[in-house]
């Protein structure tokens, strides 16, 4: 088996999930300059809700086709996450919009802790298994394996990104979002309802996060109340890598980070003469994050943010 091709495929799949989560960070940051720390947790809630629905459906009607069951789970998880994000923005972030920078960040950490612990109370400390109901086909490409699930994940990610792209570029809401990201004051003067746009941004990001949450739990075959944390951090690293605030950047950064991680995990053993092994996979995201911030803080596609004096 060709390790390089295989790791590239794995990285691409994982990266397309990172990209989806990164979009949520980047959109909110673009408008509010807030690191929505709780976004990873929203992703986790999406996975949990979907799994609950899937479990219920399987209990009631075990003969339903697997793809349809998962899809139904997703259809419930999306609005659930949207409502959650709407509430979070309204209750926790909006009152602090004019507060000093640290305050909303601390609140975001608080929200993140709350969501994680509520999830732990509701779904327990155990791993929740993703039932094996999805098609399990496997194909050979250039000497590497690719599964049905991987294909679905990549296809769905690309579709979602394309949808978001259309929304931002072609609709009134998208235009209002771009205007608000440029300047809240000017957008307000031009008749944009800034509060609505901000809410919409959170809600859209959450919908995408729900999709990502279901994907990631299907991919690893499990979900856990703690899964959103690391996923969120990595997605944020991806957003920074691409240039935070930049939607295309988040997509690119996500894919790149996925590939870097997969290649890193595949080759770290060889590179360090066996000193470090593949369980160091998770450190790559952070090294990438630190390197990007040091050498190109604006990210790959970001504009240089002038320090206004």
Partner 1 sequence: MADLLQVQGVTKRFGGLIALEDVSLSVRDGEIYGLIGPNGAGKTTLFNCMTGLYDLTGGEVRLGGVLLNGLKPHRIVEAGFARTFQNIRLFANMTALENVMVGRHVRTRIGLVGAILRTPRARAEEAAIRDRAVALLDHVGLRGKARTLAGHLSYGDQRRLEIARALATEPRLLALDEPVAGMNPTERRQMADLFQRLRADGLTLLLIEHDVKLVMGLCDRVAVLDYGRKIAEGEPARVRADPAVIAAYLGGEAA
Partner 2 sequence: MRTALDALRARPRLAFALLAALLVALPFLVGAGLGNSWVRVLDFVLLYILLALGLNIVVGYAGLLDLGFIAFYAIGAYVYALLASPHFGLHLPFWAILPISMALAGLFGVLLGTPTLRLRGDYLAIVTLGFHEIIRIFLNNLNAPYNLTNGPQGINLIDPITIGGHALSRPLELFGVTVPSTYLYYYVFLAFTLLVMAVAIRLQDSRLGRAWAALREDEVAAAAMGINTRNVKLLAFAMGATFAGLAGGLFASFQGFVSPESFSLWESFLVLCMIVLGGMGHIPGVILGAALLTVIPEALRYLGDLQRATLGHVVLDPADLRMLLFGIALVIMMIYRPAGLIPSRQRKRELTARDGVAEQEQASLYDAKA
Q: How far is the CB of 309 from partner 1 (least distance, A)?
A: 4
Among 120, 248, 263, 300, binds partner 2 (CB under 8 A): 120
**Quick check: 60 binds ligand ATP (CB under 6 A)?**
no
132 binds ligand ATP (CB under 6 A): no
172 makes contact with partner 2 (CB under 8 A): no
Q: Is 163 in the site for partner 2 (CB under 8 A)?
A: no
Is 300 an interacting residue with respect to partner 2 (CB under 8 A)? Answer: no
DSSP letter string, 12-48: HHHHHHHHHHHHHHHHHHHHH----TTHHHHHHHHHH
Binding mask 250-289 for partner 1 (x = CB under 8 A): ----------------------------------------
CB of 248 to partner 1, least distance (A): 19
Q: Is 306 in the site for ligand ATP (CB under 6 A)?
A: yes
Distance of CA 299 to the CA centre of its chain: 18
For residue 245 the two structure tokens come to: 């605030």
Instruction: Single out the segment in contact with partner 2 by CB under 8 A; choices: 43-51, 191-199, 211-219, 288-296.
Output: 288-296
Residue 204, token pair as written in the block: 């859209």
Going through the chain in order, the beta strands assigned E by DSSP cover 128-129, 138-141, 144-147, 222-223
100 CB-near residues (< 8 Å, 6+ apart): none
- The number of angstroms, rounded, from the C-alpha of 175 to the middle of its chain's C-alpha atoms is 23
Q: Would you count residue 102 as binding partner 1 (CB under 8 A)?
A: no
Residue number, 282 or 303, with CB nearest to ligand ATP: 303
Handedness of CA 156, 157, 159, 163 (dihedral sign): positive
**3 state DSSP class of 143:** coil
Could you tell which of partner 2, partner 1, ligand ATP, none binds residue 286, using a CB distance below 5 to 8 A set by kind? partner 2
Residue 194 within binding range of partner 2, rule CB under 8 A: no
Stretches 66-74, 143-151, 153-161, 301-309: which one binds partner 1 (CB under 8 A)? 301-309
Q: What is the largest CA-CA distance in the chain?
A: 65
The least distance separating partner 1 from the CB of residue 304, rounded to whole angstroms, comes to 9
Decide whether 130 or 284 has the Cβ nearer to partner 2: 284
- Report if residue 304 touches ligand ATP, rule: CB under 6 A: no
For residue 223, report the phi and psi dihedrals to the nearest 5 degrees. -135, 160
DSSP three-state, residue 136:
coil
Which residue in this structure is represented by tokens 């360090």?
A: 272
Structure tokens at 202: 């959170």
Alpha-carbon distance values, 22 to 25, 61, 101, 177, 224 (Å): 5, 35, 21, 17, 20
Among the listed residues 56, 92, 144, 263, the single contact to partner 2 using CB under 8 A: 92
Interatomic CA distance for residues 262 and 246, integer angstroms: 24
Give every CB contact of residue 260 below 8 A, 6+ residues apart in sequence: 11, 284, 288
Contact between 308 and ligand ATP by CB under 6 A: the answer reads yes
CB of 103 or CB of 168, closer to partner 2: 103
Binding positions for partner 2, rule: CB under 8 A = 33-35, 91-92, 95-96, 98-107, 109-114, 116-118, 120-121, 229-230, 233, 236-237, 240, 274-277, 279-280, 282-283, 285-287, 289-290, 293-294, 297, 307, 309
Binding positions for ligand ATP, rule: CB under 6 A = 306, 308
């Amino acid at each position: 088996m060709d390790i390089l091709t295989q790791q590239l495929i794995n990285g691409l799949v994982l990266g397309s999930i990172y990209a989806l989560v990164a979009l949520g960070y980047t959109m909110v940051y673009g408008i509010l300059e807030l690191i929505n720390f709780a976004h990873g947790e929203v992703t986790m809630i999406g996975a949990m809700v979907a799994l609950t629905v899937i479990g219920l459906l399987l209990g009631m009607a075990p003969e339903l086709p697997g793809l349809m069951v998962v899809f139904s789970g997703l259809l419930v998880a999306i609005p659930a996450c949207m409502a959650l994000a709407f509430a979070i923005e309204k209750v926790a972030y909006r009152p602090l919009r004019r507060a000093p920078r640290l305050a909303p960040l601390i609140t975001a950490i608080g929200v993140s802790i709350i969501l994680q612990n509520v999830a732990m109370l509701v779904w327990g400390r155990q791993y929740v298994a993703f039932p094996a109901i999805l098609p399990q086909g496997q194909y050979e490409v250039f000497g590497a394996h690719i599964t049905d699930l991987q294909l679905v994940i990549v296809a769905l990610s690309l579709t979602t990104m394309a949808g978001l792209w259309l929304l931002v570029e072609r609709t009134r809401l998208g235009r209002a979002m771009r205007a608000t990201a440029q300047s809240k004051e000017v957008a307000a003067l031009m008749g944009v309802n800034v509060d609505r746009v901000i809410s919409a941004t959170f809600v859209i990001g959450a919908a995408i996060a729900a999709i990502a949450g279901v994907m990631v739990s299907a991919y690893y075959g499990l979900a856990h109340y703690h899964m959103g944390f690391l996923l969120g951090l990595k997605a944020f690293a991806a957003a920074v890598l691409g240039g935070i605030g930049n939607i295309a950047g988040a997509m690119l950064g996500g894919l790149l980070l996925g590939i870097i991680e997969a290649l890193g995990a595949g080759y770290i053993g060889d590179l360090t003469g066996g000193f470090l092994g593949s369980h160091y996979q998770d450190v790559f995201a952070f090294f990438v994050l630190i390197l990007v911030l040091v050498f190109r803080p604006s990210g790959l596609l970001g504009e240089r943010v002038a320090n206004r004096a």
